[in-house]
Structure 1
Amino acid sequence: MWNKRHSLSIKLWFTIISAIIISVLFAYSLSQYYYKNLYVKKIKTDLVNEATKLGEDYQGGEITEDFMKRVEWFNSKNDSEVFVVNNPRELSACLPFEIDYDTLISEEERQLLLEGHAIEKEGYEKRFEQNIVAAVIPLMDEARLEGIIYTYIPVDSITDLLRELAARWLVATFLFLIVAIFLMTKWLKKLISPIKDIERAVHRISEGDYNIKLQVESQDEIGKLALAFNEMAQSIYLEEERKKEFLENVAHELRTPLSYVMGYTQAIKDGIVKDEEEKQKYLQLISRETQRLQKLLGDLMDLAKLDSEQVVFRNLPIAFAQFIEEVIAKYEPALKEKNLRLQAELDPDPIILGDDGRIEQILHNILDNSIKYTDMGGTISLSLHQQKDECELIIRDTGRGIPEADLPHVMERFYRVNKARSRFDGGSGLGLSIVKKLVEQQKGQIYIESVAQTGTKVRIVLPTIKDDWKL
Structure 2
Amino acid sequence: MTGDKNNKPVQKSIRARLVGNFIIIILISVLAFEGLLIYFTRFYFYGNVESILTNQVRTASDFYAQYFSNVSLEVNIIDNTDVFWRQTNAQVQIIQKDGIVLLDSEGMGSEQKVQTADFKDAVQGEKGVWTGFIQGGGRKEHIMAVAYPLKADGEQVGVIRFVTSLSDIDRIIFNISGIFIIIGVVVVLVTIIISVILAHSIVHPLRDITSAAGMMAKGNLDIRIKKGRNDEIGVLSDTLNYMVTEVQNRERIKNDFISMVSHELRTPLTSIKGWASTIIDDEFTDREIIQDGLNIIVKESDRLTNMVEELLDFSRFVSEKVELDRQKTDVSQLIDYIRKHMITRAKKENINFTAVCEEIPEIDLDRNKLKQVLLNLLGNAFKFTQPGGNVALRAFHDQGQVVFKVEDNGCGISSEELPFVKEKFYKGKNSKSQTGLGLSICEEIVRLHNGELTIESRQGEGTVVTVKIPC
Q: TM-score, normalised by structure 1?
A: 0.80
Aligned pair 1:326/2:337, yes or no? Answer: yes
Residues 136, 304 of structure 1: alpha-carbon distance in 2 compared, 3 angstrom cutoff: same
Residues 118, 433 of structure 1: alpha-carbon distance in 2 compared, 3 angstrom cutoff: closer
Residues 32, 251 of structure 1: alpha-carbon distance in 2 compared, 3 angstrom cutoff: same
Could you list the per-position Cα deviations for residues 133-153 of structure 1 after superposition, in whole angstroms to 9, with x for gaps in the alignment? Answer: 101345544457676543223
**Partners in 2 of 1:318 and 1:74 — Cα distance?**
109
Aligned pair 1:440/2:418, yes or no? Answer: no
* 1:123 match: 132
**Partners in 1 of 2:309 and 2:97 — Cα distance?**
119
Deviation for aligned residue 1:252: 2.7
* 1:467 match: none
* 1:35 match: 41
**Partners in 2 of 1:172 and 1:111 — Cα distance?**
41
* 2:423 match: 412
Q: Secondary structure at the match of 1:213?
A: coil
Letter in 2 for 1:373: F
Q: Secondary structure at the match of 2:81?
A: helix
Deviation for aligned residue 1:20: 1.2
- 1:319–1:348: 8 Å Cα contact kept in structure 2? no
Q: Which of 446, 450, 455 does residue 457 from structure 2 map onto?
A: 450
Structure 1 residues 453-462 or 258-267, which shifts more? 258-267
Residues 338, 288 of structure 1: alpha-carbon distance in 2 compared, 3 angstrom cutoff: closer
* 1:93 match: 98
* 1:98 match: none
* 2:466 match: 459
% of aligned pairs identical?
24
Structure 1 residues 455-464 or 235-244, which shifts more? 235-244
Matches within 5 A, 1:6-405: 7-53=13-59, 59-60=67-68, 61=71, 62-63=75-76, 67-69=80-82, 78=89, 81-85=90-94, 90-93=95-98, 102-104=112-114, 109=119, 112=122, 117-124=126-133, 132-143=143-154, 149-154=160-165, 159-264=170-275, 278=289, 281-405=292-416
Residues 15, 263 of structure 1: alpha-carbon distance in 2 compared, 3 angstrom cutoff: farther
Structure 1 residues 267-276 or 174-183, which shifts more? 267-276
Structure 1 residues 301-310 or 201-210, which shifts more? 201-210
Q: Secondary structure at the match of 1:404?
A: coil
Residues 108, 328 of structure 1: alpha-carbon distance in 2 compared, 3 angstrom cutoff: closer
**Partners in 2 of 1:398 and 1:65 — Cα distance?**
134
Deviation for aligned residue 1:299: 0.6
**Partners in 2 of 1:257 and 1:370 — Cα distance?**
24
- 1:139–1:147: 8 Å Cα contact kept in structure 2? yes
- 2:335–2:356: 8 Å Cα contact kept in structure 1? no
Deviation for aligned residue 1:229: 4.0
**Partners in 2 of 1:432 and 1:11 — Cα distance?**
54
Deviation for aligned residue 1:49: 2.2
Residues 54, 92 of structure 1: alpha-carbon distance in 2 compared, 3 angstrom cutoff: closer
**Partners in 1 of 2:449 and 2:117 — Cα distance?**
99
Deviation for aligned residue 1:290: 3.1
* 2:4 match: none
Deviation for aligned residue 1:279: 5.2
Structure 1 residues 391-400 or 283-292, which shifts more? 283-292
Q: Secondary structure at the match of 1:63?
A: helix
Residues 17, 171 of structure 1: alpha-carbon distance in 2 compared, 3 angstrom cutoff: same
Q: Secondary structure at the match of 2:191?
A: helix
**Partners in 1 of 2:85 and 2:394 — Cα distance?**
121
- 1:216–1:226: 8 Å Cα contact kept in structure 2? yes
Structure 1 residues 286-295 or 121-130, which shifts more? 121-130
- 1:104–1:127: 8 Å Cα contact kept in structure 2? no
How many pairs are equivalent? 445
Letter in 1 for 2:447: E
**Partners in 1 of 2:142 and 2:320 — Cα distance?**
86
Could you list the per-position Cα deviations for residues 305-361 of structure 1 after superposition, in whole angstroms to 9, with x for gaps in the alignment? Answer: 122232232211111122211221122322222222223332133423222221221
- 1:352–1:462: 8 Å Cα contact kept in structure 2? no
Residues 118, 357 of structure 1: alpha-carbon distance in 2 compared, 3 angstrom cutoff: closer
- 2:417–2:428: 8 Å Cα contact kept in structure 1? yes
Q: Secondary structure at the match of 2:453?
A: strand
Residues 220, 437 of structure 1: alpha-carbon distance in 2 compared, 3 angstrom cutoff: closer
Query: Which structure 1 residue ranges, 5 or more long, are not aligned?
Result: 96-100, 465-471
Deviation for aligned residue 1:300: 0.7
**Partners in 1 of 2:121 and 2:399 — Cα distance?**
99
Deviation for aligned residue 1:434: 1.6
Residues 271, 8 of structure 1: alpha-carbon distance in 2 compared, 3 angstrom cutoff: farther
- 1:132–1:155: 8 Å Cα contact kept in structure 2? yes
Query: Which structure 2 residue ranges, 5 or more long, are not aligned?
Result: 1-8, 101-110
**Partners in 2 of 1:456 and 1:393 — Cα distance?**
14
- 2:357–2:395: 8 Å Cα contact kept in structure 1? yes
- 1:68–1:84: 8 Å Cα contact kept in structure 2? no
Letter in 2 for 1:208: G
